[in-house]
Amino acid sequence: MKTLKDSTVGSTVTVKKISGEGPVKRRIMDMGITKGATVFVRKVAPFGDPVEVTVRGYELSLRRADAQMIEVI
């Protein structure tokens, strides 16, 4: 299982599944990260927090814990 946190900088991945429950999952989905969405990994901070991505034309910063919940292909 590969997560968004494990993706390399400069790679484009597709969201396969979002783990988590309740408000955490809702927050991720409210950002436009849904199953099938294409995500471009722009930058990862030295210790992995935050992960900066581009989704649907928007630049977002995700916490490492949130990025771990997003399974990608």
Residue 48, Ramachandran bin (φ over 0: left; ψ between -120 and 50: alpha; else beta): left
pLDDT (tens digit per residue) in 40-68 = 999 998 887 899 999 999 999 999 999 99
pTM (global) more than 0.85: yes
Predicted local distance difference test score (pLDDT) of residue 34: 94
pLDDT (tens digit per residue) in 18-45 = 998 899 899 999 999 999 999 999 999 8
Q: What domains appear along the chain, each with residue ranges and CATH number?
A: 4-72 (2.30.30.90)
Strand, coil or helix: 6: helix
Q: What is the rounded CA–CA span in Å between residue 73 and residue 71?
A: 7
Q: What is the rounded CA–CA span in Å between residue 37 and residue 47?
A: 25
CA 60-64-69 angle, 5° bins: 90
